[in-house]
Structure 1
Amino acid sequence: MFSQKNKMKIFLKIGITTFYTVAMYSYLNIGQSEKVQSETTLFASPCVIAAFDCALVMLVVSLALILSRWKENYGDPNQNVLHNIVTAFHLLMTDSNVFYLAVFQSTFESCMYLFVFMWTPILEESALNMMSGEIPKSVDHGMVFADFMLCCMLGTNVKNWYIKQMKQKTDVENEEKNECDESATLYVKFASYVCLLACVALGTISVCNSFQARLCCCLLFECCVGMYWPIVSHLRATFIPDHIRATSMNLSRIPLNVIVIVVLIFVHQLTSFPTVYTFWFCVGLLILSYFSVLMLGRR
């Protein structure tokens, strides 16, 4: 059986291989898409879909590793689902840490999913505003997405490095303090930094029309996303009991989906609605996320 550390290394290597392959094929086929679009055919060119074929191979390898090495945690089959939901909702309403963590997750992930829908129009809008001689007339979405994934992975590694450095410093200065409390405090502080950094990134996109500046801010936001996932996982394990953790976090996804759906419907109905307004709305959500994460651990 693979240890957790070895599993992370394996999938890190798979991720690097997959996304570098996507970036390479995207770079080699910048002009290929225009040729394909000019031809009427039922099937795409092999060169255009080669990156997806390579990604499929990596997914099959991942599937084989998961099926052969991981054991499923089925939980308690006798547990009543309705009872779990009621218990989780009661915990959400009575435990301030669980409530603020749910707000943190809902607001930050709402920004993430809105960004997924809005990064393409915001970059294309900037590309059209630029002079034709400075950048390509169209955005290379494959290359940009590959860069997003690499930045997301980079953010996770930055988080690991930062937490390791701060833990070493904390252990030297506060050897007698509770290790669990110190770890939670450290993650809460880092989560607040991530919220502020993401707020700066999306705020800059809202006020700046430069294609290069917006692209850099998009990459910075993806780094924040890479830092967010391990942080929120640690905070869940710290503040939410294991037997009710999944149900509690699923409840927090209800407002998340409501926010995303309402905003997208609003943007779709108003064709004249500026794209940057969506990013300003995300900035507001990130400010709320920042203050909610600061409240964690304060009873």
Structure 2
Amino acid sequence: MITNFYERQLVILTALCLLSLALERFISKPRQLPKQSPEERLENGTDPRGVNSLAKLTQQYLVVYALVMGADWLQGPYVYSLYREQYGFPERYVAILFVTGFLSAAVSGPLVGVWADQHGRKRICQAFCITYALTCACLQFPSLPILLLGRILGGISTSILFSAFESWLVSASTNAGLSSSDLSLIFGRATLVNGFVAAGAGIASNKLVASTGTFTSPFIASGILLVLSYFVIKNSWSENFGTTDKNASADPFQTKRLKQAWRIVRQDPLLLVLGLTQTCFEGSMYLFVFLWVPFLQEASGSSQLPLGYIFSSFMVSMMLGSVLYTFITQTLPSVFSSSNSSKTHPSNNGQASNGTGATISSLETTDSANTQSLTLHAKLSSCVCALSALSLAASISVRSAESEQWRFWAFCGFEACVGMYYPVQGMLRGSLISNEHRATLSALFRVPLNIFVVVSLLTGVSSARYAVLTASTIMLSFSAVMTGLVIVDRVDGKGDVRRKRPLTH
């Protein structure tokens, strides 16, 4: 009976996702620009290499992103089972292992960001493949010291995964001359790919465990994907940097650069709120990972839930959020820009000469499009936090006979917000953080996030799950309000903030 319910929901969500994908592609087709000659593209302010550059960069990034996220998702479902069931460690040791991973990520995060900016994002991404593959190797041995070493390497790898890869993409898109809408499209597609990969990895890991009879097999498969990722990055990616310092060798821990990065954040309320949003949302997301199983088990009155179907439903919900994000960001700006251009430039076909052969309107349109994109993403960030808070609040507000179904759909709503959050936050970081310090600041934002998760784990998340979700709801609501009051107000009221605030300090 329980399994039939979750099977039906998975089928419904999958059908909705496929329908949304088809609808999004159908609606986006009429908005595609007609083919133009290179001269016409230059006249209209469009780089003639733009289309090819977008396709090339999308392929370069998404292939690698699918491989590394596939390696990560293969490990996720069975880390706890490997420690607790196969190796037989007590619950206290398992908690120590998990906390070690988060502490490692918190400590290494700023250094990883600095090294990525200083020594190259491509090189650090290749280092990720090595450190995460070593993590998989450590997990093959039932020895606590070796497993602790694996968790330390895993924390370092996580810091790289969620800072250097994104920084490489943003910098590569800038070097390729792509617009903010192009970058937004890549971020949306990446989240969609992540959903497909997560669902596939969950099925693959189940098959591997069933066929081999051991929880270590998914980690071996993950290591193979990481080795493959290393060579794909090596052969297809170009290197890009932040700022380079000739005296970097004299300061291997880059304390001077870290102080400079912290000063930048401290002096800019906009970046402080950006970091606050990351801590509140991703902290709630990590705690949700620990809580959704006991919450649904409590509501159903059974410990035998079809967790595979439920996990797949969450991943499909995340893909739905990604599709919604792509639809919004690719539809609304074009609608606004077309109406604005017809009102602003009624004569001379919407263009005015500046005496040098270039057109003023094309430059204004490009700048206006970037400002509109930034404003839209700031508003989306506030809405995503608000909807996430509403979803978590709904999951704990009803404790009736139908609370299991209610909680399931509330959790699906939260996962849909996750699908929108990552591309939205990635675009905001790419727009508001200068290239010189992008990886450093992105990693620096993860320090309070990891500390928050560690403190929550040490205080006992599962035993106080209602209090934890209530606190997460309050934090997300606060983040939504602060984003609206600070980021949205500043971007919407002052235009392109990237030109109004210093990028280097």
Aligned to 1:198: 388
Aligned to 1:212: 405
CA distance, structure 2, for counterparts of residue 225 and residue 58 of structure 1: 28
Say whether residues 1:246 and 2:439 are aligned partners.
yes
Q: Judging changes above 3 Å, is the alpha-carbon distance between structure 1 residues 141 and 62 closer, same or farther for their aligned structure 2 residues?
A: farther
Deviations 1:123-167 (A, max 9, x none): 121121xxxxxxx75122222223222322332222111111111
Deviations 1:93-146 (A, max 9, x none): 111211111111111111111111111211121121xxxxxxx75122222223
Deviations 1:256-296 (A, max 9, x none): 1222222222225xx8x442221111101101110222111
279-288 or 9-18, which deviates more: 9-18
Counterpart selection for 1:70 from 212, 217, 237 = 237
182-191 or 172-181, which deviates more: 172-181
Q: Judging changes above 3 Å, is the alpha-carbon distance between structure 1 residues 215 and 55 closer, same or farther for their aligned structure 2 residues?
A: farther
Counterpart selection for 1:46 from 208, 211, 216 = 211
Aligned to 2:297: 124
Q: Is the 8 A contact 1:21 1:54 kept in 2?
A: no
Counterpart selection for 1:155 from 305, 316, 321 = 321
What pairs with 1:74-223 in structure 2 (closer than 5 Å)?
75=242, 76=244, 78=246, 79=248, 81-128=254-301, 138-175=304-341, 178-209=368-399, 210-223=403-416
For residue 267 of structure 1, give the secondary structure of its aligned residue in structure 2.
coil
CA distance, structure 2, for counterparts of residue 254 and residue 96 of structure 1: 18
Q: Is the 8 A contact 2:381 2:424 kept in 1?
A: yes
Q: So what's the TM-score if we normalise by structure 2?
A: 0.48
Aligned to 1:16: 196
**How many residues end up aligned between the 2 structures?**
274
149-158 or 283-292, which deviates more: 149-158
Q: Is the 8 A contact 2:333 2:369 kept in 1?
A: no
Q: Judging changes above 3 Å, is the alpha-carbon distance between structure 1 residues 173 and 151 closer, same or farther for their aligned structure 2 residues?
A: same
Q: Judging changes above 3 Å, is the alpha-carbon distance between structure 1 residues 47 and 147 closer, same or farther for their aligned structure 2 residues?
A: farther
Q: Is the 8 A contact 1:22 1:52 kept in 2?
A: no
CA distance, structure 2, for counterparts of residue 246 and residue 17 of structure 1: 25
Say whether residues 1:263 and 2:456 are aligned partners.
yes
Q: Judging changes above 3 Å, is the alpha-carbon distance between structure 1 residues 48 and 211 closer, same or farther for their aligned structure 2 residues?
A: farther
CA distance, structure 2, for counterparts of residue 58 and residue 170 of structure 1: 47
What pairs with 1:269-280 in structure 2 (closer than 5 Å)?
273-280=463-470
CA distance, structure 2, for counterparts of residue 48 and residue 142 of structure 1: 17
CA distance, structure 2, for counterparts of residue 49 and residue 205 of structure 1: 35
Aligned to 1:282: 472
Shift of 1:232: 0.7
92-101 or 167-176, which deviates more: 167-176
Q: So what's the TM-score if we normalise by structure 1?
A: 0.78
Q: Judging changes above 3 Å, is the alpha-carbon distance between structure 1 residues 8 and 211 closer, same or farther for their aligned structure 2 residues?
A: farther
Q: Is the 8 A contact 2:322 2:420 kept in 1?
A: yes
* Matched letter for residue 118 of structure 1: L
CA distance, structure 2, for counterparts of residue 48 and residue 153 of structure 1: 31
Aligned to 1:40: none
Q: Is the 8 A contact 2:60 2:236 kept in 1?
A: no
Q: Is the 8 A contact 2:198 2:315 kept in 1?
A: no
- In structure 2, stretches of 5+ residues that fail to align are 1-52, 67-191, 345-364, 491-505
Aligned to 2:487: 296
Alignment identity in percent? 26
145-154 or 238-247, which deviates more: 145-154
Q: Judging changes above 3 Å, is the alpha-carbon distance between structure 1 residues 215 and 235 closer, same or farther for their aligned structure 2 residues?
A: same
For residue 294 of structure 2, give the secondary structure of its aligned residue in structure 1.
helix
Q: Judging changes above 3 Å, is the alpha-carbon distance between structure 1 residues 94 and 114 closer, same or farther for their aligned structure 2 residues?
A: same
* Matched letter for residue 234 of structure 1: M
* Matched letter for residue 151 of structure 1: S
Aligned to 1:232: 425
Aligned to 1:5: 58
Q: Judging changes above 3 Å, is the alpha-carbon distance between structure 1 residues 137 and 95 closer, same or farther for their aligned structure 2 residues?
A: closer
* Matched letter for residue 158 of structure 1: L
CA distance, structure 2, for counterparts of residue 17 and residue 292 of structure 1: 33
CA distance, structure 2, for counterparts of residue 241 and residue 13 of structure 1: 27
Q: Is the 8 A contact 1:202 1:221 kept in 2?
A: yes
Aligned to 1:32: none
* Matched letter for residue 167 of structure 1: P
For residue 460 of structure 2, give the secondary structure of its aligned residue in structure 1.
helix
Shift of 1:208: 2.3
Shift of 1:61: 8.8
* Matched letter for residue 242 of structure 1: N
- In structure 1, stretches of 5+ residues that fail to align are 30-42, 129-135
